[in-house]
C-alpha cells in the first residue's frame, strides 16, 4: 500500500527563506538562479514514483515531455514559492537512481537551519537542444561560483561521478571558486534503499571510493555528448588548469585531493 503523505520523509518543515528580491524575469533569464525547494524535490519523487528510476529516464519520461511545448526549463512550470536562489549546487551522475540524489540532498540539508533551495541541472537547464540550452549551460559555472553556494557531490558505491566529464568539471570549478573557503565542496557517498522508501544508506566502504578518487582523470572521463567533453576540456585550458607536472595531470591531483577531503 502506498505511503500517505504523513509517512513520507520531508524536509522537516523547516522555514524556507524568502527570495522576494529576485524577479521572475531574472530567474527566467539566468539559469544560475533557478534553485528548487527541497520540499518540492521530495514531492516530485513521490508523485512520479521516481525514486528508483535512473535520472536519465526521469529526464526522458518526465522532464522532456512536460516542457516539450515551450522548450523552457522545468522550473518555468513550478509555483513561484518552490523556486528560489540556490545555496546547494548538486553534482551527480544521470546513471544513478534519481532517488539517490533526492535522499542524499535531504540527508545533507538536515544540517541546515532553514530549508535550502537546490540547483539541480535537470530542472534548471532546458533539456531541449538549441540556443536556450546553450545559454543555460553557459551559466552553470556561475551557479557554482556564487559565494553562498556549496557544491554537494552525490557519490554512489561505484563512484560513477568520478568518471563523468561534467561532474569532474563541476568539482574542479568548485575548487577554483572556493578561494580560502574550506568546505565549499561536500561529498556524500552511499546508496538508496530500493522500493520507493526514500531511505539513504551511507557508503559501506569509503576507502574503496577514496582509491577511485586517486585515479580520477579528466582526459579519460566519459561524456554522453562528445562535443561536451571538447568544450569542457577547452574551458579548463582557458582557466589554465591543465598544466602537466611529472607526467601527471595537475587537474587530477586537485580532484583526487578534493574528493578525499570531502569525506
* 8 Å CB contact between 104 and 136: no
Alpha-carbon distance values, 155 to 9, 90, 112 (Å): 21, 11, 20
**What are 174's three cell numbers?**
568548485
The stretch 214-223 carries a mean pLDDT of: 81
Higher pLDDT, residue 96 or 193? 96
Tens digits of residue pLDDT in 141-199: 999 999 889 999 999 989 999 999 999 889 888 878 887 777 888 988 889 887 777 88
Report the C-alpha gap between 53 and 48 in whole angstroms: 10
Tens digits of residue pLDDT in 37-55: 999 999 999 999 999 999 9
Mean of per-residue pLDDT scores for the chain:
84
pLDDT greater than 80 at residue 247: no
**What are 109's three cell numbers?**
540539508
The residue assigned the cell 562535443 is 227
DSSP 113-148: SSB-EEE-HHHHS-SS-SHHHHHHHTTHHHHHH-TT
89 forms beta bridges with 119, 151
pLDDT at 18: 43
pLDDT at 15: 47
DSSP 148-197: T-EEEEEE-TT-GGGGBHHHHHHHHHHHHHHTT-TTSEEEEEEEE-TTTT
With a pLDDT cut of 90, the percent of the chain lying above it is: 48
φ, ψ of residue 83 to 5 degrees: the values are: -120, 130
Lowest-confidence region among 23-27, 108-112, 179-183? 179-183
pLDDT at 20: 42
Q: Are strands 150-155 and 88-91 parallel, antiparallel or unpaired?
A: parallel
Tens digits of residue pLDDT in 199-211: 888 887 777 777 7
Provide the whole-model pTM: 0.86
Amino acid at each position: 500500500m502506498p505511503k500517505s503523505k504523513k509517512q513520507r520523509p520531508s524536509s522537516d518543515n523547516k522555514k524556507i527563506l524568502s527570495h522576494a528580491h529576485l524577479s521572475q524575469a531574472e530567474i527566467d533569464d539566468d539559469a544560475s538562479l533557478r534553485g528548487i525547494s527541497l520540499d518540492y524535490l521530495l514531492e516530485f519523487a513521490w508523485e512520479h514514483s521516481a525514486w528508483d528510476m535512473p535520472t536519465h529516464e526521469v529526464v526522458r519520461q518526465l522532464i522532456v515531455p512536460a516542457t516539450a511545448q515551450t522548450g523552457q526549463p522545468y522550473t518555468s512550470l513550478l509555483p513561484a514559492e518552490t523556486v528560489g536562489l540556490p545555496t546547494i549546487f548538486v553534482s551527480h551522475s544521470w546513471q544513478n537512481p534519481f532517488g539517490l540524489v533526492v535522499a542524499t540532498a535531504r540527508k545533507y540539508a538536515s544540517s541546515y537551519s532553514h530549508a535550502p533551495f537546490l540547483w539541480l541541472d535537470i530542472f534548471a537547464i532546458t533539456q531541449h537542444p538549441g540556443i536556450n540550452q546553450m545559454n543555460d549551460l553557459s551559466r552553470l559555472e556561475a551557479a557554482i561560483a556564487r559565494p553562498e553556494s556549496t557544491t554537494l557531490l552525490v557519490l554512489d558505491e561505484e563512484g560513477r561521478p568520478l568518471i563523468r566529464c561534467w561532474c569532474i568539471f563541476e568539482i574542479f570549478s568548485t575548487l577554483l571558486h572556493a578561494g580560502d573557503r574550506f568546505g565549499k565542496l561536500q561529498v556524500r557517498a552511499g546508496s538508496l534503499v530500493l522500493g520507493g522508501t526514500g531511505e539513504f544508506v551511507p557508503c559501506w566502504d569509503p576507502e574503496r571510493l577514496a582509491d577511485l578518487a586517486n585515479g580520477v582523470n579528466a582526459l579519460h572521463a566519459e561524456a554522453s555528448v562528445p562535443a561536451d567533453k571538447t568544450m569542457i576540456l577547452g574551458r579548463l585550458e582557458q582557466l589554465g588548469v591543465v598544466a602537466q607536472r611529472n607526467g601527471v595531470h595537475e587537474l587530477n591531483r586537485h580532484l583526487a585531493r578534493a574528493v578525499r577531503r570531502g569525506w
